[in-house]
């Protein structure tokens, strides 16, 4: 459903696009506002997740450009972000991170993935999308996307206020 909310007191319905066998859980709009990325779950097969890419340059007639299926057991997503160039889509789950190359919106490609050892509470892009931080109650994980390395900062006894020793583990990302 797309609404025009320029007049917030009286929003206008612009268009409706029916998603079949799809329950949307997150979305992100490209910087130029012409491409919409949806992430969700198949209604018939809950372990099957989908990324759907829409051309929304004409709001009256949004067009499905592509749909990419993959298996993922997480029940929901924590964040979904595009890098500043709009070429990489990052989907953060409570138990992992997927990176989807969307340079060609009609042909998204799974670029990489990483499954977290702990359940993550928050995920954020930083440093012009060259770094991704994932935070849990016991660790901070930093992903260096440019170098494709992962840096784990772990302490099993974090408490508010204070400094603690940190264990560093650097791993090569799966691609």
pTM: 0.74
The most confident of 35-39, 91-95, 152-156, by mean pLDDT: 35-39
Beta bridge partners of 135: 122, 140
C-alpha count within 13 angstroms, C-beta hemisphere, residue 154: 12
Give 27 or 126, the one with higher predicted confidence: 27
Mean pLDDT of 45-74: 86
- pLDDT at 170 (0 to 100): 43
Q: Which residues contact 169 (CB under 8 A, 6 or more apart)?
A: 151, 152, 154
Give 156 or 99, the one with higher predicted confidence: 99
pLDDT at 171 over 50: no
b/e map of 41-75 (b: 16 or more CB within 10 Å)?
beeeeeeebbbbbbebeeeeebeebeebeeebebe
The tens digit of pLDDT for each residue in 123-134 reads 777 776 677 777
**Coil, strand or helix: which one is 155?**
coil
Beta bridge partners of 132: 125, 143
pLDDT at 41 over 70: yes
The tens digit of pLDDT for each residue in 150-163 reads 444 444 444 444 44
Share of the chain above pLDDT 70, in %: 71
Mean pLDDT of 44-71: 88
């Amino acid at each position: 459903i797309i609404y025009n909310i320029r007049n917030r007191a009286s929003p206008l319905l612009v268009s409706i696009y029916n998603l079949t066998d799809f329950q949307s859980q997150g979305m992100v709009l490209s910087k130029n506002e012409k491409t919409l990325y949806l992430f969700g779950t198949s209604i018939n097969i809950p372990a099957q997740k989908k990324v759907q890419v829409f051309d929304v340059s004409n709001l009256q007639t949004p067009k499905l450009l592509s749909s990419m299926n993959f298996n993922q057991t997480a029940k929901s997503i924590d964040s979904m972000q595009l890098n500043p160039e709009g070429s990489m889509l990052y989907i953060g789950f409570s138990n992992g991170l997927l990176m989807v190359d969307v340079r060609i919106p009609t042909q998204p490609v799974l670029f990489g993935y990483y499954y977290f050892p702990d359940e993550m509470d928050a995920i954020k892009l930083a440093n012009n999308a060259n770094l991704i931080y994932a935070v849990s109650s016991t660790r901070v994980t930093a992903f260096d996307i440019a170098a494709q390395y992962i840096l784990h900062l772990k302490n099993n006894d974090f408490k508010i206020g204070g400094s603690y020793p940190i264990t560093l583990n650097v791993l090569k990302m799966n691609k």
